[in-house]
Chains A and B, each alone.
Chain A
Amino acid sequence: MRRIRVIKDKTARYFMLGIAIFTILLLLVIGLSLFLKAFPIMREKSLWSLLTSSDWKPFKGNFGFLPFIISTIYVSLIAIIIALPFSILTSVYLNSYASKNVRRLFEPVIDLLSGIPPIIYGVWGTLAIVPLIANKIAPKFVEYSSGYTVLAGGVVLAVMIIPLLISIMVEVFRSIPVEMTDASMAMGATKWQTVKKVILRKSFPGIIAATVLALSRAFGETMAVLMVCGNIAQIPHSVFDAGYPLPALIANNYGEMMSMPNYESALMFSAFLLFIIVVLFNGLSRFTLIQIEKRYRFS
């Protein structure tokens, strides 16, 4: 009887260990298989020419990823620039000013914003943001814009990353010891001074980490951006030009790529690129956030 129990326990333990190793390996397997798939194109063209050429003609075998890389960066930066002030202000408000009831009211709002699927954001973007840019905003700056622009992608993405930013920042703010803010208030500082001189300064690394994390989320976002960005393979010269971010490139061309040599490999290359960047960004910012959490836990 006793032996069966112990055998069960041992079996469960090894099963769990197996799963644990599997999840760690999964990351490596994803990276490796994307790399292997991307290898043919990397052998044929130099990495440098793939990254810096802007000549995208798959039919002739020219694969320059520059327009897509620039578009991705453009869209993500616009998103961060729009999202960051709103997120910081809202997190500060929720952390230091808002009453308990307001905070409780806001939790589901953040939950819902992060729960809404990308495709719904895309539909909203085409219905609300694209016409707004085409009819109201763009005519003030340029002669004509279809509305399907880098700016539209940036705005939609901004809304999508705000919940992520807020939920991390609130955590970061919460990790600041109460004694510190209390000390500042006791010295006669106003709430705003405390926020500015103590909370924001102390949580600066956390805010940076959250921003990097949100940036990497923005890099990889596909459907919503695909639906509002216009998808023209060119380097966007202003925010009112159409762009073509990397994820959209992968999603748009998957069906037809099988017929052409190297096309599949080129698309896998962009997936690999995306993977590497996101893993790097994520790793760095998660590491910072874990350090912050640790400092808080042991102090």
Chain B
Amino acid sequence: MIGAALVILGVLLYIVGTIFIKGLPSLTLDMITKLPGGGFYLGKEGGILNAIVGSLYIIVGALVISIIISVPLVMYINFYLPLNSLFSNIIRFSLDILFGVPSIVYGAFGFALMIYLGIRASLFGGIIAVGMLIMPIMMRSLDEVARLLSRDLPDALLSLGATKYEMVKVILRQLMPGLITAVLLAVGRGIGDAATVLFTAGYTDNIPNALNQPVATLPLSIFFQLGSPVEEVQNRAYASAIILTIMILILSFSARYFSSKFSKHKI
């Protein structure tokens, strides 16, 4: 059993190790500060700033959407509806299922939606698709924290004559660490997902300056560079993979840090 656990630990190190060893030689400062130059896809100068910024644009937009939906939703099923009511269980159940829907299906649905609305692959489409993908993730992790909150606080607030809306505002402050953890988890998931943005966001060498322009993303940039027959470009794909891995490592550790640090000071 210890063996099985060690194998899993080993695989993690193996994955991170492989990526770093292959990519480190091609990792330069230019990679993260420059746009792809003229001969970028033939192994000439340039970087993947377009993809990094594009990924950030998409994730920020998707976050706004998913926070607007998931925060009120969690408040509603935990503090507005009666405890363990049928309706809140139905909502939880449907979100559990949404959580399991593969990202490629969100991508295909997003694409169908965009055709229906008559928009082309764009920043807007990517934001919608990624927003749908990360909404259930945020909602679930926030819901877990909200369920554990002591029932005394809502009761005390209500007995002081607060409306439920005012109560929720106070509770939300209590749940802030949980919200931050949920956001970081969702960002980690959303930033690395390629299948959702494949048809909805498109790809470009520039940084978009409007919602209706196509946008590059980090995972797709890795994918396309890897598909190139030129060796330098492939090596750069590995370097891009390092950048993405480091982002995920930072997000994952800070999520852990926030959830452990702030939980100490809660009532």
Question: Are B112 and A33 within 8 A (Cβ)?
Answer: yes
Kindly identify which residue among B98, B104, B185, B222 contacts A27, using a CB–CB cutoff of 8 Å.
Answer: B98
- Among A56-64, A120-128, A200-208, the stretch in contact with B: A120-128
In the bound complex, residues from chain A placing their C-beta under 8 Å from that of B226 are 123, 126, 227
Instruction: Let me know if B1 is at the binding interface, CB within 8 A.
Output: yes
CB contact between A268 and one of B101, B112, B113 (< 8 Å): that residue: B112
Chain A residue at minimum C-beta to C-beta distance from B139: A23
Minimum C-beta distance from A38 to chain B (A)? 10
Given A30-B109, A93-B1, are A118 and B8 neighbors across the interface (CB < 8 Å)? Answer: no
Task: Confirm or deny: A145 has a beta carbon within 8 angstroms of a beta carbon on chain B.
Answer: no
Name the CB-closest residue of B to A97.
B1
Chain A residue nearest in CB terms to B102: A220
CB distance from A106 to the nearest CB of B (A): 7
Q: Is the pair B194, A23 in contact by a Cβ cutoff of 8 Å? A: no
Complex contact B252–A112 (CB within 8 A): yes
**Bound form: Cα–Cα A116–B241 in Å:** 11
Of the listed stretches B29-37, B56-64, B87-95, chain A binds B87-95
The interface residues of chain A lying within 8 Å CB-to-CB of B192 are 115-120
Residues A271 and B252 in contact, CB atoms below 8 Å apart: no
Q: Assess whether B251 is in contact with A115, with CB atoms less than 8 Å apart.
A: yes
Closest to A286 in B: B96
Most buried by B among A109, A112, A213, A216: A112
In the bound complex, CA of A260 to CA of B6 (Å):
51
| Distance between Cα atoms of A260 and B98 in the complex (Å) | 31
Counting contact residues on chain B (CB < 8 A from A), the size range is: 35 or more
Whether A86 lies near B194 (C-beta < 8 A) is: no
Q: How far is the CA of A63 from the CA of B116 in the complex (A)?
A: 24
By beta carbon, the residue of chain A nearest B2 is A93
- A17 interfacial contact with B, CB 8 Å: yes
Contact (Cβ within 8 A) A119 B244: yes
In whole angstroms, what is the CA distance A177 to B188 when docked? 35
Q: Which residues of B contact A12 (CB under 8 A)?
A: 72, 164-165, 168
Q: Which of A210-261 contact B (CB under 8 A)?
A: 213, 216-217, 219-223, 227, 247, 250-251, 254
A92 within 8 A of B: yes
Q: Mark B247-260, 1 if CB is under 8 A from A, else 0.
A: 01101110110000
Pick the contact of B102 from A85, A89, A222 — CB < 8 Å? A222
Q: Which of A266-288 contact B (CB under 8 A)?
A: 267-268, 271, 274-275, 278-279, 281-283, 286-287
Collect the chain A residues with CB atoms within 8 Å of residue B191's CB.
Answer: 117
Q: Once the chains bind, are A123 and B237 in contact (CB under 8 Å)?
A: yes
Interface residue stretch chosen among B15-23, B42-50, B149-157 = B15-23
Q: Which of A124, A162, A278 contacts B100 (CB 8 A)?
A: A278
Residues of B within 8 A of A92 (CB): 1
| A6 touches B (CB below 8 Å) | yes
Residues of A within 8 A of B185 (CB): 115
Annotate A113-155 by CB proximity to B: 1 below 8 A, 0 otherwise.
1011111111110111000000000000000000000000000
Residues of A within 8 A of B72 (CB): 12, 15-16, 19
List residues of chain A with CB within 8 A of the CB of B87.
20
**A26 on the interface (CB 8 Å rule)?**
yes
Q: List CB contacts (< 8 Å) of B165-191 with chain A.
A: 165-166, 168, 185, 188-189, 191
With contacts A90-B5, A117-B194 taken as known, whether A275 is within 8 angstroms of B101 at the C-beta atoms is yes
Given contact pairs A23-B91, A220-B102, A221-B102, A17 touches B76 in the complex (Cβ within 8 A): yes
What is the minimal beta-carbon distance from A218 to any residue of chain B, in angstroms?
Answer: 10
A90 near B4: Cβ-Cβ < 8 Å: yes
- Enumerate chain B residues within 8 angstroms of A17, measured Cβ to Cβ: 76
A162 to B226, CA, bound (A): 26
Contact B19–A274 (Cβ < 8 Å): no
Q: Are B198 and A37 in contact, with the CB atoms below 8 A?
A: no
Q: A128-B18, A251-B104, A271-B104 are in contact. Are A94 and B5 (CB under 8 A)?
A: yes
A124–B76 CB distance below 8 A: no
Is the CB of B223 closer than 8 A to any CB of chain A? yes
Cβ contact of B105, chosen from A24, A94, A162, A275, cutoff 8 A: A275
Closest Cβ of chain A to B162, distance in Å, is 9
Query: CB of B77 within 8 A of chain A?
Result: yes
Interface residues of A in 22-75 (CB under 8 A from B): 22-24, 26-27, 30, 33-34, 37
For A24, A30, A97, A283, which residue has the most chain B Cβ atoms within 10 angstroms?
A: A30
Contact A116 B5 (CB under 8 A): no
8 contacts between A and B (CB under 8 A): A19-B73, A86-B7, A97-B2, A112-B248, A115-B251, A251-B107, A282-B101, A290-B89
* A-B contacts besides A115-B251, A223-B219, A251-B198, 7 pairs, CB < 8 Å: A23-B73, A98-B5, A106-B9, A112-B249, A115-B248, A127-B22, A282-B101
**In the complex, the 7 A-B pairs of residues with the closest C-beta atoms, listed nearest first:** A220-B102, A117-B192, A89-B4, A16-B76, A282-B100, A9-B163, A93-B1
Q: Which A residues are closer than 8 A to B by beta carbons? A: 5-6, 8-9, 12-13, 15-17, 19-20, 22-24, 26-27, 30, 33-34, 37, 85-86, 89-90, 92-94, 97-98, 106-109, 111-113, 115-124, 126-128, 159, 162, 166, 213, 216-217, 219-223, 227, 247, 250-251, 254, 267-268, 271, 274-275, 278-279, 281-283, 286-287, 290
